[in-house]
């Protein structure tokens, strides 16, 4: 038996969906504007997870999609030798470009197919394969005509033809949520269990009032009766000061030994009601009583620790890929790296023990594909150190950044002055805070650097204090500024993302052929 500590996947791993194929479990989460999109993780025991691939690489055009747009709420299922992922692509600037889609693969590591777009509005699609060989799509959308309350939604169900690759037959609206007046009855998942159809859905919005509700029916198209215990799982009654808030968006899976489990999302506030690590993935046990699932039996909330009876004790490196325990040099091909609207291997190339990061005109404030490689912040206290070679021309910068979006981030930039005021052996380090699209300089200092020197760019987070600084080789970090992390999370900024920390470079909109040389990047979380 192994005890796993929640969250199962710390950092921004929202909207988890899970399925089992034989002895293997597969899990996928939302990634929004980051690429590769929809990472696939595999486990043999629900405890130790490894990256095996990603669903979306180059099948969808991300150009112009703003932060907190992109890929929402995937569902992963397996049927007759094929993996299916259904998902929503959201473009807030152009509704015609987004929509719900289906992709398939025979190997979860890929390649995955081109998307098949579904002719249905809304979000959070899911798919059920029934015992009679049929497939049923379902999802959620706002009630358009005379809703009974603001943001009332409805869950729809419709048959999907695998041969014709389209929705067929009549549509059935089966659910509006367990609580009258509850907003966003969303993230629906259907299951066929012992001849009964179960609907697990979220409601209350993916914030503080998030919850899980359950309904059942004798036919996939309904009518569905709600569980009298609904919502069957929520933390909203525990207040803002509890260790985990926003529990919801659950997906169930039966283990090989016949036990049942659920994954769901939640947030861990710290430094006040702020959750910089974003919406994370949690694991909890499930039992069945009187024909209904009981989530977290005997506790009624997501536990800090979960005993998994069939899991072996993990080794010292187990789960490192999922948990972000980055020691030493992290090459650009590591699956933990992500790019903004661009694949990491299109942004950087290996170079000896390090890698090259070609400078791009795009800045971190542009809705573009900047030269930025980042990893999820997965620890409250963390040190990220990027060692770079200072060899860029005047007007170009290399740095580290704590990113929420193009409108909200903190960045350190190191470079020569564009007007040539700094000499070749004195560069300028500047910390800029972009908040709500408004730029503020938090600190600036001259740094003794000779062209070609290795320089360590440092982000040290201690709770909600993010110190950004420079180490030019003495071993002492020259602190440039400290940013308030409470201005960066989604409570302060809106959107759906946790924070990413990474290395970046820019020519500030000017065409360039320069390259920033990255010797190493380390992530040390406490």
Catalytic site positions? 15, 186
In terms of C-beta density within 10 A (0-12 exposed, 13-18 middle, 19 or more buried), how is residue 494 classed? Answer: middle
Contact 167, 137 (CB under 8 A): yes
Measured in degrees and rounded to the nearest 5, phi and psi for residue 391 equal -145, 30
The sign of the torsion formed by the CA atoms of 272, 340, 451, 428 equals negative
The 8 Å CB, 24+ separation contacts for 24-31 are: 25/253, 26/76, 26/78, 26/83, 26/108, 27/76, 27/263, 27/281, 28/55, 28/74, 28/75, 28/76, 28/85, 29/74, 29/281, 30/71, 30/72, 30/73, 30/74, 30/496, 31/56, 31/70, 31/71, 31/338
- The radius of gyration of the chain from alpha carbons, rounded to an integer in Å, stands at 24
Q: What is the 3-state secondary structure (H, E, C) of 253-265?
A: EECCCCCEEEEEE
Helix (H, G, I), strand (E, B) or coil at 431: strand
Rounded CA-CA distance 320/325 in Å is: 5
CA atoms within 13 A on the CB side of 169: 13
Contact 422, 428 (CB under 8 A): yes
Provide the terminal-to-terminal Cα distance of the chain, rounded to the nearest Å.
26
Rounded CA-CA distance 518/357 in Å is: 7
Rounded CA-CA distance 133/161 in Å is: 11
- Of 4, 11, 6, 7, nearest to 525 by C-alpha is 11
């Amino acid at each position: 038996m192994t005890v796993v500590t929640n969250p199962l996947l710390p950092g921004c791993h929202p909207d988890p969906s899970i399925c089992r194929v034989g002895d293997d479990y597969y899990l996928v989460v939302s990634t929004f504007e980051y690429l590769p999109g929809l990472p696939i993780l595999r486990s043999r025991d629900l405890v130790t997870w490894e990256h095996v691939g990603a669903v979306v690489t180059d099948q969808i055009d991300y150009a112009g999609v703003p932060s907190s747009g992109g890929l929402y709420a995937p569902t992963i299922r397996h049927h007759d030798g094929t993996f299916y992922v259904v998902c929503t692509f959201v473009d807030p600037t152009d509704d015609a470009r987004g929509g719900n889609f289906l992709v398939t693969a025979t190997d979860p590591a890929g390649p995955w197919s081109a998307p098949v777009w579904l002719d249905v509005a809304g979000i959070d699609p899911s798919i059920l394969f029934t015992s009679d060989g049929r497939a049923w799509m379902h999802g959620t959308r706002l009630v358009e005509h005379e809703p009974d309350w603001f943001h009332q939604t409805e869950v729809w169900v419709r048959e999907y033809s695998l041969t014709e690759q389209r929705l067929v037959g009549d549509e059935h609206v089966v659910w509006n949520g367990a609580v009258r007046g509850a907003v966003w009855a969303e993230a629906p998942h259907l299951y066929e269990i012992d001849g009964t159809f179960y609907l697990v859905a979220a409601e209350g919005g993916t914030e503080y009032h998030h919850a899980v509700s359950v309904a059942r029916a004798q036919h996939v198209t309904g009518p569905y009766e709600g569980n009298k215990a609904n919502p069957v799982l929520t933390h909203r009654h525990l207040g803002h000061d509890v260790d985990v808030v926003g529990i919801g968006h659950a997906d169930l899976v039966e283990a090989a030994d016949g036990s049942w489990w659920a994954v769901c999302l939640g947030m861990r506030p710290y430094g006040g009601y702020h959750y910089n690590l974003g919406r994370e993935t949690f694991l909890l046990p499930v039992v069945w009583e009187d024909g209904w699932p009981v989530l977290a039996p005997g506790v009624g909330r997501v536990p800090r620790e979960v005993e998994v009876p069939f899991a072996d004790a993990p080794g010292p490196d187990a789960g490192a890929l999922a948990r972000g325990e980055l020691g030493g040099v992290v090459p650009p091909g590591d699956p933990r790296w992500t790019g903004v609207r661009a694949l990491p291997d299109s942004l950087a190339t290996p170079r000896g023990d390090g890698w090259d990061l070609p400078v791009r005109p795009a800045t971190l404030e542009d809705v573009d594909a900047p030269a930025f490689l980042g990893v999820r912040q997965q620890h409250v206290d963390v040190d990220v150190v990027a060692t770079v070679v200072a060899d860029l021309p005047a007007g170009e910068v290399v740095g580290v950044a704590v990113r929420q979006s193009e409108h909200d981030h903190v960045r350190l930039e190191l470079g020569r002055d564009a007007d040539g005021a700094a000499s070749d052996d004195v560069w300028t380090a500047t910390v800029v805070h972009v908040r709500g699209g408004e730029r503020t300089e938090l600190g600036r200092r001259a740094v003794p650097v000779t062209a070609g020197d290795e320089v360590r760019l440092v982000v040290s987070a201690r709770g909600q204090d993010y110190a950004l600084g420079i180490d030019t080789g003495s071993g002492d970090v020259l602190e440039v500024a400290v940013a308030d992390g409470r201005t960066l999370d989604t409570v302060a900024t809106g959107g759906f993302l946790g924070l990413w920390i990474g290395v970046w470079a820019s020519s500030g909109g000017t065409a360039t052929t320069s390259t920033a040389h990255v010797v190493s990047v380390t992530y040390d979380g406490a």
